[in-house]
Structure 1
Amino acid sequence: MGKVGIFSPSLQINTATNMTDLNSVVNECYNYLELIGCLRLLSTLSDKYMLVKDILFYHVIKRVQAPFESFKQGLKTLGVLEKIQTYPEAFCNILCHKPETLSAKILRDLFTVHTLPDVQALGFWNSYLQTVEDGKSATTMEDILIFATGCSSIPPAGFKPTPSIECLHMDFPVGNKCNNSLTLPITSTYKEFQENMDFAIRNTLRLGKEESSHYNEH
């Protein structure tokens, strides 16, 4: 078969609903499964879960073992590995990324304004961020970031493209995770602005969780 994405075979196998479909997918991916050492006899439909587990184990564990061992050997050269193993807590802050605690200022600086904004709506946005930070909103800072970008924290390498905001004459905000943009509603009062922001963000995230749960069940 042609070039195979890491998760494509796993998804195809996992979503097979009968043995005919399952065997068809396995035959299609035969060369790939043989290459990574995951060929196994499938006698029942439930065997597909063990096959998917084997595929994921290969990519997450076995495939990175050689590079990982090479990395360890490099650390041993100057005695760094020994120090890490002796003082793991001291090296944790250096080697492990810890998500930055989100605040009103961080989100305010994170989102750039690419178009001429509505001054009042932008003022409402700044007030809203402070309201959320003070715990006086139904949403959290993480909710806002997820709504606009799909991420609950700022990645170590930052976002690409840079998160942006614009203001439009609409009732509710719109988050576009493809380009990390947030469209703010233009309302007459701050109360209406906050209620609409809270409603849209919370319901969008709730629907997203329900869809994810439904997918996992199947």
Structure 2
Amino acid sequence: MKRNLVTHRISVNAATNTADLNSITNEFYNYLELIGCLRIITSLSDKYMLAKDILDYHVIKRVQAPFESFKQGLKTLGVLEKIQSYPEAFYSLFCHKPENLSAKVLSDLFTVHTLSDVQALGFWNSYLQAVEDGKSATTVEDILSFTTGCNSIPPAGFKPTPSLECLHMDFPVGNKCNNCLALPITNTYKEFQENMDFAIRNTLRLEKEESSHYIEH
């Protein structure tokens, strides 16, 4: 279902004229009818409302019935009433508080491929400490986001587990599909840190700009 949401929103937003938009609507007619998002297309600007309708369905309407069922269950023995009366007391039971990231937490989080370069791994550990000490242009959250797309460790953890490998390249590569961080193999630690900082900082900046552009349109 998540794949349908992403696919259809991208298809709708990619339409460049009314004919394209109508063609997309016809192609996904059964799907749009099923989720109650069919609408008459009169202009290209209608694509924004259509994309919003699809998003509203998946984020709000689709989960509304299970949420109401959950609330009814909490009313048993007056639990829901107590939660509403003392929300702060129940906060830790129902809300996940992300673990504070540190060099050690990040180091323990990543598994290392057996054939990784020993020197590069040493540079990696030194880099993590430099980041934690504020001696880098990046943060531990930046490193995690660069590798996995997440700023914090999810309650259920990562699947697959984040891993490290070392490749003969100048800059690191973060593969968010399999949570793998490829470290560059350099001659000096200074070069390693500069390349890590440059790649992570600029990649995250570009991703943020692309995300903002997508939301605006």
User: What TM-score results when the alignment is normalised by the length of structure 1?
Assistant: 0.88
Count residues with an aligned counterpart: 215
Report the AA paired with residue 80 of structure 2: L
Correspondence for 2:58: 59
Correspondence for 2:187: 188
Correspondence for 2:132: 133
Correspondence for 1:198: 197
**CA shift at 1:206, angstroms?**
2.4
Structure 1 residue runs without a partner (length 5+): none
Correspondence for 1:92: 91
CA distance in 2, matches of 1:168, 1:53: 42
> Are residue 32 (structure 1) and residue 31 (structure 2) matched?
yes
> Are residue 103 (structure 1) and residue 97 (structure 2) matched?
no
Which whole-Å deviations, capped at 9, do the CAs of 1:163-218 have from their partners, x for residues lacking one?
11123343222222222111222333222221121112112222323333444455
After the TM superposition, which residues 1-218 of structure 1 pair with which residues of structure 2 at under 5 Å, given as runs? 5-218=4-217
Structure 2 residue runs without a partner (length 5+): none
**CA shift at 1:140, angstroms?**
0.7
**CA shift at 1:55, angstroms?**
2.3
Root mean square deviation, CA, Å: 2.0
Q: Given the superposition, is the C-alpha separation of residues 121 and 39 from structure 1 closer, same or farther in structure 2, using an over 3 Å criterion?
A: closer
CA distance in 1, matches of 2:92, 2:203: 34
* Secondary structure, aligned partner of 1:78: helix
Which whole-Å deviations, capped at 9, do the CAs of 1:134-156 have from their partners, x for residues lacking one?
11100111111122222221111
Q: Given the superposition, is the C-alpha separation of residues 40 and 188 from structure 1 closer, same or farther in structure 2, using an over 3 Å criterion?
A: closer
Moved more, 31-40 or 83-92: 31-40
CA distance in 1, matches of 2:35, 2:124: 51
Percent identity at matched positions?
A: 80
